[in-house]
Amino acid sequence: MTRTPTSTHDSLARELARRDAAWWRDLAARLAVSIGGVSTILFIVAIFAFIGSQGFEFAWNRLSWSELFFGTRWEPTVSPPTYGAWAMIAGTAWITAVAMLVAVPLSFCAAVYIGEFATGRRREWLKILVELLAAIPSVVWGVIGLQVFNPMIQSVFGVQIGLNVLNAGLILGLMAAPIMTTLAEDALKAVPDSYREAAEALGATRWQVIYKVVLPHARPGLSAAVLLGIGRAFGETIAVLMASGHTLMAPGSVFDSAATLTATIAAELGEAAVDSDHYQALFVLGLVLFFITFAINLLADRIVRGRRRS
Amino acid sequence: MTRSAMDGFRATAHELRSLQAQRLMRLLFLMMALLLLVPVLGILGVLVVEGAPGMTWEFFSQKPSKLGAAGGIYPALVGTVWLTAVALMVALPLGVAAAVYLSEYARDNWLTRIINMAIVNLAGVPSIVHALFGVGAFVHFMNFGESILAASCTLAVMTLPVVIVSTREAMQAVPKAFREACWSMGATRWQTIWSIVLPNSVSGILTGLILVVSRAVGETAPIMFTGAVFLRLVPPESVFDRTMALSFHLYTVSTQVTGVPRHVPFAVALTLILVVLTMNALAIWFRMRLRGRKKW
């Protein structure tokens, strides 16, 4: 095809002729949806900026970071106030650990069964069931913790208070498990079928295929699933506030009541006067939470992506 | 056939053992899967048994009395409808726009990667952090005060990833050939999107809508400081009113009020669960229908 040389005037005229109403509408739509796309970035930046702006001045001038992370006394309302979040950090760690002890085995086994053993209708139904479980609201889980698990833990273990690390951990485990099941199943699904077929052609049974081929290859995806489960368990607020007993003391065993970072914000934000030190300290906790979940998400993304590239 | 020829087809002891191992493991994994599902179904059963007696017509149509220990949940129901509707009005256009951008315009460059990262993080940020954002951005900075508008905007930011992901998925499932056919008839990009791509991904948008409703109905933390109140016996009249909400009401009657009869929190919890699970079942049904109908 040969291109006939055109004068600038011609091309300009053609360009202008192209700009009918449809062209302008196209441009407007393009701008509008671009704004929609970029808005997600804006929101993340705005979350950081707004929480930071509330907490930053306080964090910079009047808060000692070593006290925040290692101080054991969180007494923002007595004078002089102390802002030691160690009890909440420990509580968060304990509860998340118990939650993962519950969720990892349950969700991985469920994922292997759904993804590798189950077939046809049974598989579809199990998947739907798992998805529905993931939708139960966190405040309902809180009620389950208060009304169902609390008396159960009291009578089974003979302890005074059933609202403790164990209760909150169980609840968070059951809450995180459905999501982790879905993520883990995706990780298994990402292992190419040709690998399975190769192993089966060598005479491996289904279990040998899973154990020797599928699981090792799905490992990055499975670790990402655990990471995202941790992120979910650790960011959960209302259910933990209701089930953990919310006691600002570092727990020594699973039968101690505990408090988490998230629950403390929820419990105290309503009482703290706007712009007071206490209020700003809660925003600093929010900032810490934001950064930790951000790091977890980036890490999980990196693990999955690194796998895909190789 | 001679005996020795048959032996070639008989499983060796080793093969039999691994076959047995496989059956055992299959059973074991089924048990573990059931261990996840059965207790939760049991708990749901408890909710139904304990909550059902409280779910009378009066429960849904009357105002609460004695701080929620008696009476009904009518204002909370209406409030939840308001919160959800306004959240949808914000999240749906924004989310669909973002999905259109990502599916139809975005190239594989750094901007797209950052947007995707932002979506993942927006979905992963704890709900209480969204609440802090809502307090800082909508209640104080935008000066909405504690109101339905502030609470709904907070919910909308939180549920945005859900809309984007489900819409984008449906749009990407529309074959490229459809678009090319439209372009070759001289349509602009937008005309193609409006008349071909969007109509073909309606079920994805609906799925997103339903999932937003289900999230917005169930979330407590993001609304408790941005617009939900403990008691407000008249239903809201504008988006600048504060309102009761089902989820926050459940939180208060089970933790803040003393002397609440046992069936009350269960009945509220059951109401919430029924709404949320119905919504999710609908979303799943839509998705399956889409998958079944799609013949391209």
Distances (CA, A) of A166 to A150, B1, B122: 10, 65, 29
Residue B2 to chain A, least CA–CA distance (Å) = 26
Asked if the Cβ–Cβ distance from A40 to B251 is below 8 Å, we say no
Counting the structural domains of chain A, the total is 1
Task: Please check whether residue A14 lies inside any domain of the structure.
Answer: no
- Asked whether residue A154 is assigned to any structural domain, the reply reads yes
Identify the pLDDT of residue A1.
45
pLDDT digits (tens, 9 = 90+) for A3-18: 555 566 777 777 777 7
Residue A27 lies in a domain: no
Residue B99: band (very low, low, confident or very high) from pLDDT cuts 50, 70, 90: very high
Which residue type is seen at A187? A
Mutation to test the B interface, candidates A143, A196, A242, A265, most B Cβ within 10 Å: A143
Which of these ranges, A144-148, A207-211, A302-306, B290-294, has the smallest mean pLDDT? B290-294
**Helical spans, DSSP H, in chain A:** 8-18, 21-61, 65-70, 86-112, 120-134, 138-144, 150-157, 165-189, 193-201, 206-209, 215-235, 238-243, 261-268, 277-309
- Residue A137 with chain B: CB contacts under 8 Å: 217-220, 247, 272-273, 276
How far apart, in Å, are the Cα atoms of A239 and each of A173, A176, B90, B171?
11, 12, 27, 35
User: Residue B181, SS3?
Assistant: helix
Q: Identify the pLDDT of residue B72.
A: 82
Angle at B134 between CA B131 and CA B137, to 5 degrees: 150
Please tell me whether the peptide bond between A5 and the residue prior to it is cis, using omega within 30 degrees of 0: no
Which of B14-28, B158-172, B256-270 reaches the highest mean pLDDT? B158-172
Q: Mean per-residue pLDDT for A249-253?
A: 86
Place of tokens 């009541």: A257
Tell whether the model's pLDDT for residue B105 goes beyond 80. Answer: yes
Residue A292 clears pLDDT 50, i.e. is over it: yes
pLDDT surpasses 80 at B98 = yes
Q: Is residue A5 part of a domain?
A: no
- Give the pLDDT of residue A289: 92
- Burial-class residue A14 by CB neighbours within 10 Å (0-12, 13-18, 19+): exposed
Residue B139, pLDDT score? 92
Is B295 a residue whose pLDDT tops 70? no
The answer to whether position A135 is within a domain reads yes
* pLDDT tens figures, A216-231: 999 999 999 999 999 9
The CATH number that applies at residue A189 is: 1.10.3720.10
- Residue holding tokens 């939650």? A99
Domain extent for A246: 82-309
Q: Check pLDDT > 90 for residue B86.
A: yes
The pLDDT score that the predictor gives to residue B6 is 59
Quick check: B59 pLDDT over 60?
yes
Contacts of A135 in chain B (CB under 8 A): 214, 218, 276-277, 279-280
Instruction: Quickly count: other Cβ atoms within 10 Å of residue B231's Cβ.
Output: 15
- ipTM score for this prediction: 0.87
> What tokens does A209 get?
């295929």
B residues 33-92 lying closer than 8 A (beta carbon) to A: 33, 35-37, 39-40, 43, 46-47, 50
Q: What is the pLDDT of residue B294?
A: 62
Task: State pTM to two decimals.
Answer: 0.88
pLDDT at B248 over 90: yes
CB interface of B with A, residues 212-271, below 8 Å = 214, 217-221, 224-225, 247-248, 250-251, 254-255, 262, 265-266, 269
Residue A196's pLDDT band (cuts 50, 70, 90): very high
Any domain includes A43: no
Long-range pairs for B191-197: beta carbons < 8 A, 24 or more residues apart: B191/A22, B191/A25, B191/A26, B193/A29, B193/B100, B193/B104, B194/A29, B197/B100, B197/B103, B197/B104, B197/B171
CB pairs under 8 A between A and B: 278
* Contact state of B124 with A34 under an 8 Å Cβ cutoff: no
Residue A41 above 90 pLDDT? yes
Contact in structure between B221 and A237 (CB atoms under 8 Å): yes
pLDDT at A166: 93
Q: What is the pLDDT of residues A172-194, one digit of tens each?
A: 999 999 999 999 999 999 899 99
Question: Does residue A268 form part of some domain?
Answer: yes
Would you say residue B130 has pLDDT above 90?
A: yes
Per-residue pLDDT tens for B150-207? Answer: 999 999 999 999 999 989 988 988 889 999 999 998 888 899 999 999 998 888 888 8
Mean residue pLDDT of chain A comes to: 87
| Mean pLDDT for the stretch of residues A42-51 | 93
Q: Which of the four pLDDT bands, split at 50, 70 and 90, describes residue A240?
A: very high
Give a yes or no: residue A169 inside a domain: yes
Q: Report the Cα–Cα distance between both ends of chain A, in Å, rounded.
A: 42
What's the whole-number average pLDDT of chain B? 87
What is the distance in angstroms between the CA of the first residue and the CA of the last residue of chain B?
Answer: 52
